[in-house]
Amino acid sequence: MFEKVLIANRGEIALRIHRACREMGIHTVAVHSTADADAMHVRLADESVCIGPPSARDSYLNIPAILSAATITGADAIHPGIGFMAENAQFAEMVEEHGFTFIGPTPEHIRIMGDKVTAKRTVQSLGMPCVPGSDGPLDTVEDALATAKRIGYPVLIKAAAGGGGKGMKVALGPEQLREAYQLARGEARGAFGNDQVYMEKYLAKPRHIEIQVLADTHGNAVHFGERDCSVQRRHQKVVEEGPSPALNAEQRAHIGGIAANVVRELGYRGVGTIEFLFEDGQFYFIEMNTRLQVEHTVTEMITGIDLVREQIRVAAGAPLGYGQDAIRFQGHSIECRINAEHPDTFMPSPGRIDGYHAPGGLGVRVDSALYDGYRIPPHYDSLIAKLVVHGASRNECLMRLRRALEEFVIGGVETSLPLHRRIISEPDFINGSYDIHWLEHLLGLKG
């Protein structure tokens, strides 16, 4: 097992990884920008190294600085966390070239899944159901028009290098498609430096359902069931839950089995998430994330398994040591992503925390790096806390979530707490009847 792990991230996820390491008897090294010198992940780590100025480009994305920090502290492995370097194949490659273990998949697997066109082709050849669409990238607007004619409108143009919902455009007919095609290419070029786009049939009322997988380096792979992440705004997840109110045990075992089989066939290692749209009882693959996800906590609550610990174990070469039968699902879990942002305009709201009280009690987990007096810097993601609740049943979970949201106090900045209180009081949410458009309709953002 590793003796020392460098955590190449910040905020709640750096803390989450530190906690797993601590419980495994592994020393931790935090890295931080000058804006994060007082951050909780720095305070709790055994050692810390400043890797640059506030801008992420010069610090958390600065590969030479991170590798130097690992060298001078004598770390054996680097955990990239979520975002920043987590899906950067070149970083994974350089980490290993410098003699450290990358806690994540091989650079090759990151590369395959990072290009969504290649990803779709790869998993489709292994029996994964996919959304009907173009067979590859669309090089010209004529290609796009011909593909749309074949699969039928409405269609969605997506960026091959996509992420965070960027570069996606819907078209209801040929005129709109001409425009959407150019817009999507421009947006993709700006966001990812790669303007390759592809097309999918636009599904009208799907749910977003994803399967958590884990594979070791000895040919074993398992799945940990699903998370329903259909409550979204601008294709970004806001609330996640597991199990999905829309699936039964048979559907879970079916799609989970396919997902575990695909990662086994690929020779994948580590944790991963296979994302699907689910409509009229059918699953359609959309992408695979080759990293830990924000909402991994939901799965931990219903399986009792520490996924970060598992991720570190398999990175160190340990065999899983258990099969699919050992994974049991108990009760229900819901996570609210709490952002420092205005609840109506969604504008970021950085600033100093003045008054902080986190809820507690049975079945309540708060993953956050906040503390009273902490100053949220304006340079990074606005996620400041994850409230994750567990209950024996979905109803118990909802009641517990309601009281936990009532107790939660985050003063000094605007947060999305009021939005969450509203979402969980809506009859549709209480009944579990929502799709990926539901939240935007509720907020009046869609006609």
Nearer to ligand ADP, 226 or 310 (CB): 226
- Rounded to whole angstroms, the Cα distance separating 97 from 91 reads 10
Does 163 bind ligand ADP (CB under 6 A)? Our answer is yes
Does 100 bind ligand ADP (CB under 6 A)? Our answer is no
Binding residue for ligand ADP (CB under 6 A) from 53, 137, 165, 377? 165
Q: Which two tokens stand for residue 44?
A: 């709790």
Q: Which of 109, 97, 107, 95 is nearest to 5 (CA)?
A: 95
Q: Please name the amino acid found at residue 95.
A: V
Does 286 bind ligand ADP (CB under 6 A)? Our answer is yes
Does 169 bind ligand ADP (CB under 6 A)? Our answer is no
Per this entry, what is the length of the chain? Answer: 447
Q: Which two tokens stand for residue 8?
A: 């190449």
Binding residue for ligand ADP (CB under 6 A) from 66, 67, 203, 423? 203
Does 171 bind ligand ADP (CB under 6 A)? Our answer is no
Q: How far is the CB of 62 from ligand ADP (least distance, A)?
A: 24
Q: Which of 437, 377, 410 is nearest to 202 (CA)?
A: 437
Does 232 bind ligand ADP (CB under 6 A)? Our answer is yes
Peptide bond into 154 cis (omega under 30): yes
Binding residue for ligand ADP (CB under 6 A) from 91, 202, 268, 408? 202
Nearer to ligand ADP, 203 or 385 (CB): 203
Instruction: Say whether 338 sits in a helix, a strand or coil.
Output: strand
Q: Could you say which residues in the range 386-445 bind ligand ADP, by CB under 6 A?
A: 436
Nearer to ligand ADP, 32 or 185 (CB): 185
Look up tokens 């390491």; give the residue: 21
368 to 8, 237, 338, 358: CA distances (angstroms)? 17, 17, 9, 9
Q: How far is the CB of 287 from ligand ADP (least distance, A)?
A: 5
- Rounded to whole angstroms, the Cα distance separating 225 from 433 reads 20
Contacts of residue 313, Cβ cutoff 8 Å, sequence gap at least 6 = 1
The tally of CA atoms less than 13 A away on the side-chain side of residue 245 is: 20
Q: Which two tokens stand for residue 76?
A: 């054996």
Nearer to ligand ADP, 104 or 167 (CB): 167
Q: How many residues bind ligand ADP (CB under 6 A)?
A: 19
Rg (CA), the chain: 21
Q: Per CB under 6 A, which region of 71-79, 137-145, 160-168, 219-227 contacts ligand ADP? A: 160-168
- Rounded to whole angstroms, the Cα distance separating 115 from 406 reads 42
- What stretch of H or E contains 389? strand 383-391
- Alpha helix (H) residue ranges in 290-393: 296-303, 307-315
Q: Which two tokens stand for residue 60?
A: 């958390």
Nearer to ligand ADP, 206 or 272 (CB): 206
Catalytic residue among 227, 269, 291, 337: 291
Nearer to ligand ADP, 405 or 436 (CB): 436
Q: Per CB under 6 A, which region of 135-143, 202-210, 246-254, 356-364 contacts ligand ADP? A: 202-210
Nearer to ligand ADP, 229 or 327 (CB): 229
Does 88 bind ligand ADP (CB under 6 A)? Our answer is no
Binding residue for ligand ADP (CB under 6 A) from 83, 104, 162, 363? 162
Contacts of residue 441, Cβ cutoff 8 Å, sequence gap at least 6 = none
Q: Per CB under 6 A, which region of 107-115, 155-163, 211-219, 417-425 contacts ligand ADP? A: 155-163
Instruction: Say whether 166 sits in a helix, a strand or coil.
Output: coil
Look up tokens 């498609």; give the residue: 177
Check if 291 is active-site. Answer: yes
Residue 234: how many CB atoms within 10 A of its CB?
13
Q: Per CB under 6 A, which region of 36-44, 158-166, 391-399, 425-433 contacts ligand ADP? A: 158-166
Q: How far is the CB of 194 from ligand ADP (least distance, A)?
A: 13
Q: How far is the CB of 30 from ligand ADP (least distance, A)?
A: 28
Binding residue for ligand ADP (CB under 6 A) from 187, 200, 300, 367? 200
Footprint on this chain of ligand ADP (rule: CB under 6 A): 131, 156, 162-165, 200-203, 206, 208, 232, 235, 275, 277, 286-287, 436
- Residues that are catalytic: 291
